[in-house]
Amino acid sequence: MFLEPHFKGQRSGWIEVICGSMFSGKTEELIRRLKRAKIANQKVEIFKPKMDTRYDEAKVVSHDANSILSSPVDTSEKILDLAEGVDVIGIDEAQFFDGNLPEVCQQLALKGIRVIVAGLDMDFKGQPFGPMPALLAVSEYITKVHAICQHCGNLATHSYRLIAESDQVVLGEKETYEPRCRTCYHMGNILNLKT
């Protein structure tokens, strides 16, 4: 089916993904892009998972304490309901959303909306996290940000869990996680297996 008449005169939308380990500046970069869109007089809406209440119930807050007001939602489908008349949508902590998030983002982009998504690309086991792999596959732009390894000073790509908890989702900060490079991450896991 040819859809050109439906899209005639509509600007193009797209999906941007900001990914990396914990403490790499993902949320900081998301906030920076959203504030620039607001300066450009674009209508911006920001969403985060309702379960993420680490810093604030309603704000998206970076580890550096920069913040921007958001709408906490239970499911990705609710983003579609709240996206009317919006130019730019920001989504933080995308790894905590359901598997429909990539489809929701694609629907928004087809409506001409710029969608900026930030999230962990890997969980504490070094495995792809939630809907992030599918988002990376369908996005037009990908920015991978890095933290600094707490042990050797190299670029960190992994989120190393410091506590003995096996659930995939454990909300926490510096007392629970630290960024590590590939080598220090794997060495830490080997040492943990021996103890």
Among 119, 92, 91, CA closest to 105: 91
Residues assigned a catalytic role: 93
Cα 79 → chain centroid: 15
Name the residue with tokens 């659930």. Answer: 167
Q: Which residues partner with 16 through β-bridges?
A: 116, 141
Burial environment of residue 3 by CB neighbours within 10 A (0 to 12, 13 to 18, 19 or more):
exposed
